[in-house]
Structure 1
Amino acid sequence: ATHPVKLEEKERIQLLMSASLAIFLVLAQFCTTSAFAPILLSHPEAAARARHCAFWSGGWGANTAEALMRRRGARDERSRLLLMQAPGVAKLRRAENAPGNVFVDESCIDCGTCRWMSPCFTRSNDKSAVTVQPQSEEERLGALQAMVACPTGSIRTESPDPLSKQATLSFPLPVPGLSNVYHLGYHSPKSYGAAAYLLVREGGNVLVDSPRFNEALAKGIIALGGAKYMYMTHIDDVADHVRWSERLGCTRVMHASEAPRA
């Protein structure tokens, strides 16, 4: 059960300012690039604001905001259809994949995670596919990191890649251009693939939203100083918050209007 914890006013303000700043910086850094998609915009009001924001002046970013809104609306229906699929069918290699070792299978839920993590992936017929096989070591590592982050395990390889272990242990992954902000990978199907982040700061690190629980990731977070708080932006992205709170001993923080539903 989640129990309210009263923070000192100064501490509460510092926490909220730090988490909000981290979210803003990540958005400002990446929402106009193909390397990282806009994140934490699954709430319809946030996505609507984003379409009118200066970041989103045409092209890729605006399309992504609309796509996030569309996918959120289709989440429950797609999940229902996936449950109806026979396991063998769900794991079939999609015909849209380019020939080669890395591929996306039919269990993809079109959350878009892989597409902003690696340029090897694009959207084709309402799901992701490998349209360009990774060639260099850097490209292979990026594709494998997307495989680790995939919430439904829909990215696979025909044969094992020697870089797989490195990809698994690479999270928390530093966000390029932003000091002390880390992408946690391990997206959860419970939050429809939402991204979670770690903000390393004086006064205690902050986990922003919840990734899929994974012990290797927990050890990586602990190596960076653990987490004093888990700041949950909204109800859709709480995922495995109970397990993370128990493992890291962090205090969960959420707006009062959302907390009863968590």
Structure 2
Amino acid sequence: TVSSHPIDTQFRQSCLEGGCHLSAQPSAEPYRYRSTGCAACHYLSDDDGLYKGEDVTISHTEPGHGRIHRLTTAIPFTQCNHCHNRGNYSLRTMSFTSRPDLPPAAEPLSEFMPVKERRLQEYYQPIGQFTLCEWELDCVDCHTGQEAMGNGHIADAIADSQVTECRTCHGTLTEPPQTAVITAPDEAAMRQARLNGHGDLQVGDRVVINSKGEKLWSVQEISPGVFVEMLKVSGDILPVPLVQGSACQQQPDQQESRYCHECHAYDREAGRP
């Protein structure tokens, strides 16, 4: 039976039925169009909810359709934003407050706005702090499949399932990132690279691993002490700076992003870290 307790009712209406949970019907409004289940992430939707493909049986003017008929693992941050950046919630009141600077409370951002400026406004709330890599990368560049979809074990909290840290790719003052060699063509990292379509991962390549031993196929050690990351959405290659040998004062037990923000927070006004 469904509880009729006021708190449970408020929780159900504001959270479980609020349009963000994968099983809930998404809100039919700009910026919140998406599918459900696996397709909520892997079937991309534009902010306007309009179909941009070549299937003549689908309306190009009726909102509520994905961009094109294709599943992908190259998921841009805009897809995550349909659920994860719509405002703030209160556990005390079990209520959700939408952001006042984005739809539905405000007008959609101009399509002519420069990409980086648009992302700066969409991705982070005005009080938010972030490092340059958090801004330039997409969510999937750091969050792995096991973090997003689970690993078969029940975690006590979301934080317990998030194992990719700053030191995963940047190492520490005393050690470089942990790595492992790709040993078989059918292992998970190889399958992930093939599905993504951008990568050219080969058996024998050395990749970064997180604290659970999960191989991050997109971050490779191309020569001793030299690391690069391939962006999963664009396929661009970026160098990965290491903490070791730098002036960074990182401590091994301080891996939450707030510690990095103390020195590496991006300056919105100056446009630099």
Normalised TM-score (structure 1): 0.27
Normalised TM-score (structure 2): 0.26
Higher relative contact order (CA 8 A, sep 6+): 2
Bigger share in helix: 1
